[in-house]
Structure 1
Amino acid sequence: MQTHIRKCNILSWIAKKPKPSTEILSISTDSEASQSDFSQTNESKEPSESSSSSQPDQSFIVEEKNIPVQKRPSTASMQIKAEMVEVVSEEEVDSETHALFLSPPFDKFGRKPGDLGYDKSTLYISEKYLSAMTPCEEQFWRIKMEYFDTIVFFKKGKFYELFAEDAVLSAELFGLRLTKRGAMKMTGVPEMSLDLWTEKFIHKGYKVAIVDQKETSVSQNMRVKSGDARQKIIERELKEVVTDTTTSSDGIGICSLFIHEIENTEKADITIAVFRPMESEFFVLQFEDDKELFSVKSIMKKENIKEVITNSPAVLKEKVIPIRKDTWSQDVASTIEAMGAHSLEGKKKEALEILVSYLKYLKYAFSAQLVEYTDKVKNHMQVDGRTIEMLCLVEQPNKKERDTSSLLGLIDQTKTRQGKRLLRQWIIRPLVCISQIEKRYATAEMLENIPERGLLESHLRKIGDINDFVKKAKNYKVRPEEIRRLSSSMEEVGCIHAVLLSAISRLTPQEIDLTHIQLLADKISSFGVISKITEGFDISGDIMPLSTDPELIAAEKYKQKVLDMLQIYGRKESDTAQIEFTVKRIGREHYLECSKQDSSLADGKKYIPSGSTKTVARYTTSELRKLSETYLEAEEKITFLATESVSRISKRISDNDANLKTISMGVAALDCLISFGYCKGAKPVLSDRLQIKGLLNVEHTHIPNDIEIDTENRLVVMTGPNMAGKSTFLRNISTAIVLRQIGAKVPAEQFAGPVYDRLFTRIGASDNLLEGESTFQIEMKETANILANATEKSFVIIDELGRGTSTKEGSAISMAVKEYLKKLRCTALYATHFFSAIKPSDVTMKMDYKYVINSQNHQEILYLYNLVMGICKDSCGIDICKMTKVPDSVIIRALEIKRQRAAQ
């Protein structure tokens, strides 16, 4: 399939700065990186020193012309390559000259850094250099050639080693001990800590390539002895490329995004394809967005997107992935066909192809399906990305631990990973169907009151991340202990199912609508099918063999037979030499061991000394070496068969992903609903007007307040001094509406109100210096989005609009926006310090305060944090100055000026 890069123009009103240099970058998914021809067999020789330059991903732009995917190097590029080859003669090539092909590093097309379209993810090394390397060096550099911007962990025995600048970088970042093997810099980490070090590099913004051994030294020897004519060094392969998205179990997503300008308009044509790794789902959308990309950013916030493949990196803060489109995987079309996306055409198809190709480039296996994006007005209250950030609804960026500053962190009492992910989705996608809200609330209330609640929580704590099991199974990364964990989790799901059925049997439809809880029980009812997957498994050391596998049983018996032969050999040698020998295994070898006193009796021609201690001497013989080698081969056979059995189980898990996902969803929903039982407050009631009595924050630490907004006067103007609690109250009421529409209790004595279709907030702003945007500009962008999209059924919060410009202009804008919101007839709370913007007809409320005399006989402000009817005409800014220790002379002068202006 020949594919061309689509012509893309960066929107002039998006990227208001010079275009960065164009790059054409490709995705390579073939396995050539690990399939090299070797002419040497010295496995001990290491890759030589170099100056690799692995760096975090940078932004890019797709070139503005059609270029064939299989573009070959130009004549000029080939001339550059020829010059690179002729730097030294073949005789001069040795381990110390490898740095020459990195000075500078040319990409696979012969372009150097700074050239138009330079591909930093590839490296060109001539065959002359490669042929002069040892086989192990060649293995390493052939992989590094295709993943030059990636940290490569290269498996050698029980360690993963890093070479060249990867090693230097690991020493600089993490203090790993930098050593040399020959002229090659290297560091290494034990295989058991691979996940830890991978995570460290990922956290620093790097991709990590894992190169694993396809065989051990024992299996390599077995292969060579069997007459296998393949390479005579240990075979290795690139197993996977790990990124923040593929390694996380927190529901992080990845997307491809194309932005195309619509001529003569302030809009853009958007095509976005999103992959959800934990659900193994894709969805593709095409729509028009405004020039600020509010809809795009909302999708990215809700889907927790951390990696983006895009033609417009300048407009995004997320990590931008270099797209290498010239070497797409040939089976992309068949993959898309398999997921049911054959009907996609045009830009939608292209966006999905790029995303699938990138996953294949990462060696990420998946069996995903194309789903419909469900975040629609008819299903959920629309909450845009900016509102999610302003209200701190979910976790804040760069916070690893539980984030108690967010609504999610405050109400999250879930016991499972899938429960926490689902709770996050519920919070950012509140319901709009009142029957669904009431069913969810009723089920949570029932679970809160049944005596088995504690028992259910106990079982939930023991359930692993089922979605993560499936994800790993699809990539054949499931460890034996994780299979056992899945089996144990299914046992816990079975117990939960029994508890739910018992609770349902005691209740009657007259007491409670049982449909929702019955649905939960039905979702997890297929646990028995999954339990059968792991039947016959047991833990045995680091592997988990099938105890009913006849081939494995035979291999175990043969290993025991060889072990018996070793013991018999030891007893025979003891009788022959009249020495009390014992056969002892040390590392991978077996030795004849005797006391130091008896060592003088050993025949030096037959018994070859192999070390000693203060008390014992060790020997080996040709026959013992053969037996020891046979024993190691028997162990290797068992390991191979056990690995095969784990792979078979992984496939069964993958084949049953639909059942497992259904079970996981049922467990997650149950977990969330039980978590709702920890929310304190009132049961919401449906009403045409919003009436809240005793509104608190989620922690119940604030002063309670009442508010009522009727159906005629839907806009309330709020005033009050600085620091009086206006913004806090606005956040509290917004949070209460979200809690109500996810089916939880509301932190109030009473709550009655309608169901809202959209929630908008404009609270606080700061300069965005990197994008050249002022505080006022950001305010106006957000306000424009609200005015363009709010409806009669929306709830709008606006806090201190217009403060980023002059008082006169700010007041005028504030009044105009307030009047526009009134015409929309949306429910709105409008906080302002511009008293001139308030009309006598406005419904007004204020945060109350009073002055008291302190111990120094000075007047100071006392905040009451009570919301009352009326207008506060003093912002008390000078009182805040006193509290912040502004010099007295400044405060006295400010008071004089204030009095003078009041008299005018």
Structure 2
Amino acid sequence: MSDILIPQNEAAQTPLMRQYWAAKRQHHDALLFFRMGDFYELFYEDAKVASRELQITLTARDREKTQPMCGMPYHSAESYITRLLRKGYRIAICEQMEDPKLTKKIVRRDVIRVLTPGTAIDPALGSSENNYLAAVHVAGGMVGLAYLDLSTGDFRATEFSGATALLQCADELQKLGPTEVLASASNPLLSESKELAEALGRARTKTSVDDWAFTTDYAIPLLERQMGTMSLEGFGLAQHRAAAVAAGVVIHYVRQTQQNDAGHVDAIRYYERSQHMHLDQVTVRNLELLDPIFTDAGTEATLFRTLDCLMTPMGKRLLRSSLLRPLLEAADIQQRYDAVAEAKQNLIQREQLRRSLGGILDLERLLARISLDSAGPRDVLAMAASLKHLPQLCRDVAMLAAELWRGAYARLDTLEDLCAAITKTLVAEPPLTLADGGVIAAGVNKELDELRDISHSGRSSIAAIEERERQRTGIQSLKVRFNSVFGYYIEITKSNLAHAPADYERKQTLVNAERFTTPELKEYETKVLTAHERSIDIEKQIFAELRRQLMENSGRIRKTSAVVAEIDLLANFAHLASLRNYTQPQLESSPVLEIAAGRHPVIECLMEEAGEGRFIPNHLYLDSEGPSLLLLTGPNMGGKSTYLRQAALLAIMAQIGCFVPAERMRYGIVDRVYTRIGASDNVARGRSTFMVEMMETATILNTATSQSLILLDEMGRGTSTFDGLALAWATVEYLHARVGARTLFATHYHELTILAEQLTKLKNLRVAVKESPQGIVFLHSIEEGPANKSYGIDVARLAGLPPQVIQRARQVLKQHERAERMNVAVETEAPLQMTMFTPLSQHVIDRLEETDINSLTPLQALNLLEELKAEIKAGQAGAAKA
């Protein structure tokens, strides 16, 4: 948002508005939520923006309406703040720093926190989603990337080098989808890559940070202090300065905006993309791993939703992360298989394990709220409610013997001391906030118990004082009362004033009575009036001490949370394997991919939920020794794309340790999955559909290895038929001769099928179709051999095109096919006939040389051939007469 014009004439402003503008000067780029009593108020341009975006009433502080304002109750502000953050706004929270009841001056106010899209702990954020704040640092030919989910403490960093470093960083950013990206305010290198500029622009918010924050002298020591270490060696960052600087900038920004040290962020993980199966953002999108390509398809049409039967939010986020970064080490994958297989076979133990997991809430986000001082009593009690399930979970895991289960048992800290501390300190059903007290349990603090006794026994104490004074004075009409102006007093009617004791101090005179006080009543009044405030102060101190104790053990809580996530993931895979008849893949040392009766995991689930019958399974066999390249032909809607995606999804499932929907699967490690599927363009960057297609294909041909898995669907359809065919032809030959990767190539170019006679490792497959007088029936199965036609017109008829269009299309198709046959005839038979009639043949040759055959449409070529045919026929007749 633009800078706010701040009035210069401060002398004419009220003290309250001078306070407001002082805060606004410091946070001119944020919407200032200014606390006034029970409301947050926004003024001037901030009010106009909030009123427009939130659809709330815009009012004014003056009759002339020169000071626009709007506001909302502070207790319901969270939902409004969330909506503004999701629209990309920054919000500065300006709170009252004093109790208005305890000061006669204007209440001191200060900005306690700046909320930004990347640092907000959004309560509306889904349990499986991450809210990443990222930073990019470019220096010395290296590109560092760091990103943090402040709501969970998940903190990671990586680094890129070489000529494609900026491009790699852009791809990683687009795959992560951070909400906010931090970048240097003036680094020219960030604009060198269009892809990186686009990735930065896709974030909901791009924030410029001062250049000095990106220096190694500032960023790296700051990161070391945050991690509580003298060196970053233990985190793998000592030799990766660009990544360490980016991580330091993230910490700098978090501390600056939160005005808090974010103690739960106490670890960072460095990774190389080569440590996992590489999936670029194109592949993640095309395979619909996390999000559907078409929003109207619903979120269920993704691999993540299909595999998500997890019991904890931490497990859901681990599954999401695993799908983006599948394993590469065969030993790690096999360990997961062993653990899943054991749990699959043990139904009772598996279900008991999942039952224990079901009681555990989001430990990571609860810890983050406690760390950032935004947790209420109920949040802390929810932490205890989750920790109560850990001992039983530990006993359940102990019953399993696989290596990963044993490791989880050894690392699972049950945190019983923290659970006991919380349950001992807090009442069973605490109020939402500390403001009104009643949070701390009885017996925790002696003074607090006494103050509560005073507050609760007020009436009986006053009644006792009243009865004693009546006995002492003999005045039966004597009353002890209280009002907010004079406090506690003794009231005696004027007819009984003569009996008032000498130690009574006159406090107020009424028409028919006098009011008095005594030293005892003054002392009691002081106790009663301050008891409530003092008890709340004590409760806040005890709660702060409990919070401090939890933060001292934040590392234990985070490690336990990570172990719970691993247990949940493995138990989930076992549950899926049992529920859906998934089988354990078999790892091989050679680059083979064999799938017997494989099923598409997402489509199978959607069909079952919709009651649409069973998914038809298919086989697949790829091997570096042959066939390494499968050429798939057949009609649209027949299942070619499904077959391609199914192969990739099963490979990804296998390498995250999940069993797969197939009778049998053998595979060698896949280092990267490439996809060239569908048509898209990028008008903003001046790239057509065909240009995007060629760039994606270029990436595949230049970077794929023999261990990769390549899916190419309808390559070359974005240009002319001959250009597209030529490019597809050359690409197939290059993949076969140079790359050697396991490749599935779906195409409508039937001409490519003859390559099976020339390329030893290429095999033709086709989609099975049954023809009938009523039309075609898709059998959705794959069989050997090339398809003889595309059935495009039949698919169009099924789509509902008018019969007149279908009929005319069949006529035009016949003309095109006839033209193609005539072309062959001219190239083969015609020259032989023309050698018998030299003058005529020369004439035909001259016409053909003068004509650019490739520029003719099929109908023009057909007309030319008909003319030449007539001339040849006429020449033959003339020669016969001669």
State the TM bucket, normalised to the shorter chain. Answer: 0.7 to 0.9
1:531 is aligned with what amino acid? Answer: C
Could you tell me which of 157, 160, 165 is aligned with 2:37?
Answer: 157
Structure 2 match to 1:7? none
1:351 aligns with 2:246: yes
User: Is the CA contact (8 Å cut-off) linking 1:418 and 1:664 kept in structure 2?
Assistant: yes
| Pairing 1:599-618 to 2, within 5 Å after superposition | none
Tell me whether 1:840 sits opposite 2:756 in the alignment: yes
**Which position in structure 1 is the counterpart of 2:134?**
255
Q: Which residue of 2 aligns with 1:883?
A: 798
User: Which of 474, 493, 496 does residue 393 from structure 2 map onto?
Assistant: 496
Aligned to 1:321: 206
Whether contact under 8 Å (1:292, 1:781) holds in the other structure is no
Task: Identify the residue that residue 213 of structure 1 maps to in structure 2.
Answer: 96
Q: Does the CA-based 8 Å contact 2:370-2:380 persist in structure 1?
A: no
- Give matches, 1:341-740, under 5 Å: 347-348=242-243, 350-363=245-258, 365-367=261-263, 368-369=265-266, 371-377=268-274, 379-395=275-291, 403-448=299-344, 449-501=346-398, 503-504=399-400, 514-534=402-422, 536-539=424-427, 540-541=430-431, 542-543=433-434, 544-545=439-440, 547-557=443-453, 559-560=455-456, 578=477, 631=528, 633-676=530-573, 677-679=575-577, 680=580, 681-687=582-588, 688=590, 689-699=592-602, 700=604, 701=607, 702-713=615-626, 714-740=628-654
Identify if the C-alpha distance between structure 1 residues 347 and 745 changes in structure 2 by more than 3 Å, giving closer, same or farther: closer
Following TM superposition, by how much is the alpha carbon of 1:810 offset from its aligned partner in structure 2, in angstroms?
1.0
688-697 vs 573-582, which deviates more? 573-582
Aligned to 2:16: 136
Q: 1:668 to 1:350 in 2, by over 3 A?
A: closer
Structure 2: how far apart are the matches of 1:589 and 1:408?
67
| CA displacement 1:675-705 (0-9 Å, x = unmatched) | 1112422221224432212111215242111
Counterpart-to-counterpart distance in 1, 2:463 and 2:55: 47
User: Residues 195-206 of structure 1: matches in 2 within 5 Å?
Assistant: 195-206=78-89
Contact 1:722 1:875 in 2 (8 A): yes
- Secondary structure in structure 2 of the residue aligned to 1:427: helix
Q: Relative contact order: is structure 1 or structure 2 higher (C-alpha 8 Å, sep ≥ 6)?
A: 1
Aligned partners of 1:328, 1:564: CA distance in 2, in Å? 63
* 1:840 match: secondary structure: helix
Deviation, structure 1 residue 660: 1.0
1:144, distance to aligned residue in structure 2 (A): 1.9
1:830 to 721, 745, 749: 745
Q: Distance in 1 between matches of 2:10 and 2:245?
A: 36
Distance 1:566 1:807, change over 3 A: farther
What is the root-mean-square deviation of aligned Cα atoms in Å? 3.8
Q: Note the C-alpha offset of 1:742.
A: 1.1
CA–CA distance in structure 1, aligned partners of residues 242 and 576 of structure 2:
46
1:234 Cα deviation (Å)? 1.9
| SS, match of residue 683 in structure 1 | coil
2 CA distance for matches of 1:589 and 1:873? 102
Aligned-pair CA distance for 1:758: 1.4
Residues 851/278 of structure 1: CA separation in 2 closer, same or farther (3 Å cut):
same
2:60 touches 2:69 (CA, 8 Å); kept in 1? yes
Name the amino acid aligned to 1:682.
T
Q: Is the 8 A contact 2:507 2:517 kept in 1?
A: no
Question: 1:696–1:703: 8 Å Cα contact kept in structure 2?
Answer: yes
Q: 1:402 to 1:764 in 2, by over 3 A?
A: closer
Cα displacement (A) at 1:717: 0.8
Q: Which piece of structure 1 moves more, 797-806 or 362-371?
A: 362-371
Q: Determine the structure 2 residue equivalent to 1:898.
A: 813
1: CA distance, partners of 2:84 / 2:467? 53
Distance 1:447 1:369, change over 3 A: same
Counterpart of 1:296, as a letter, is C
Q: Contact 2:143–2:242 at 8 Å: present in 1 too?
A: no
- 2:621 partner amino acid: E
Is 2:47 the counterpart of 1:167?
yes
Amino acid at match of 1:874: K
AA aligned to 2:714 is E
Q: Equivalent residues in 2 for 1:109-124 (5 A)?
A: 120=2, 123=4
CA 1:346–1:667 in structure 2 vs 1: closer, same or farther (change >3 Å)?
A: closer
Structure number with the higher helix fraction is 2
Give the letter aligned to residue 72 of structure 2. V
Shift of 1:424: 0.8
In structure 2, relative to structure 1, the CA distance for the partners of 1:622 and 1:813 (3 Å cut) is farther
Q: In 2, distance between residues paired with 1:567 and 1:671? A: 61
Instruction: Give, in angstroms, the shift of residue 818 of structure 1.
Output: 1.5
Deviations 1:343-400 (A, max 9, x none): 57875565344333322332253243563423443x4222222211111111459989
Task: Determine helix, strand or coil for the equivalent of 2:789.
Answer: coil
For the pair 1:240 / 2:113, whether they are aligned, the reply is: yes
Q: If the length of structure 1 is used for normalisation, what is the TM-score?
A: 0.74
Aligned match of 2:880:
none
TM-score, normalising length: structure 2: 0.75
CA contact (8 A) 2:156 2:271 kept: no
* Closer/same/farther in 2, CA of residues 345 and 385 from structure 1, 3 Å limit: closer
Structure 2 vs 1, CA of residues 526 and 496 (structure 1 numbering), >3 Å: closer, same or farther? closer
Q: After alignment, is 327-336 or 832-841 more displaced?
A: 327-336
CA distance in 2, matches of 1:622, 1:293: 80
**Secondary structure of the structure 2 residue equivalent to 1:382:** coil
Aligned residues: 734
Q: 1:628 to 1:832 in 2, by over 3 A?
A: farther
Sort the Cα spacing of 1:444 and 1:326 in 2 relative to 1 into closer, same or farther, 3 A: closer
Pair 1:865 & 2:865 matched: no
Matched position secondary structure for 2:143: strand
Q: Residue type matched to 1:381 in 2?
A: M
CA distance in 2, matches of 1:625, 1:887: 96
Q: Distance in 1 between matches of 2:57 and 2:528?
A: 36
Q: Which moved more, 1:402-411 or 1:864-873?
A: 402-411
Secondary structure in 2 matching 1:545: coil
Alpha-carbon distance in 2 for matches of 1:366, 1:434: 37
State the 1:579 CA deviation.
8.9
Q: Is the 8 A contact 2:144 2:245 kept in 1?
A: no
**Distance of 2:241 and 2:623 partners within structure 1:** 49
8 Å CA contact retained: 2:219, 2:245? no
Supply the distance in 2 between the matched residues of 1:577 and 1:207 (Cα, whole angstroms). 66
* SS of 2:71 mapped into structure 1: strand
What do the CA deviations read for 1:395-425 (whole angstroms, capped 9, x no partner)?
A: 4599899921111111101111111101111
Distance change (3 Å), C-alpha of 1:887 and 1:606: farther
CA contact 1:608–1:621 (8 Å) conserved in 2: no
- Cα 1:792/1:333, change in 2 over 3 Å: closer
1:849-869 CA-to-partner distances (Å, cap 9, x unmatched) read 122233xxxxx2211111000
Secondary structure of 1:712's counterpart equals coil
Structural mapping, 1:285-304, within 5 Å: 285-288=158-161, 293-304=166-177
- Give the C-alpha shift of residue 662 in structure 1: 1.2
Mapped partners of 2:118, 2:703: distance in 1? 32
Opposite residue 357 of structure 1, the aligned amino acid is H
Q: How does 1:328-347 map to 2 (within 5 A)?
A: 335-338=222-225, 339=227, 340=229, 347=242
Contact 2:597 2:664 in 1 (8 A): yes
Change in Cα spacing, 1:729 to 1:478, as seen in structure 2 (3 Å) is same
Task: Name the structure 1 match of 2:864.
Answer: none
Work out whether residues 285 and 293 of structure 2, in 8 Å CA contact, stay in contact via their aligned partners in 1: no
CA contact (8 A) 1:562 1:630 kept: no
Judging changes above 3 Å, is the alpha-carbon distance between structure 1 residues 608 and 397 closer, same or farther for their aligned structure 2 residues?
farther
Using the aligned pairs only, state the percent identity: 25
Q: 1:747 to 1:148 in 2, by over 3 A?
A: same
SS of equivalent residue, structure 2 residue 373: coil
1:849 aligned to 2:769? yes
Bigger CA radius of gyration: 2
Tell me, yes or no, if the aligned pair for 1:427 and 1:738 is still in contact at 8 Å: yes
Cα shift at 1:282: 4.4
SS at match of 1:270: strand
Looking at structure 2, the residues matched to 629 and 675 of structure 1 have their Cα atoms a distance apart, in angstroms, of 61
Tell me if the contact between 1:566 and 1:583 (Cα under 8 Å) persists in the aligned partners: no
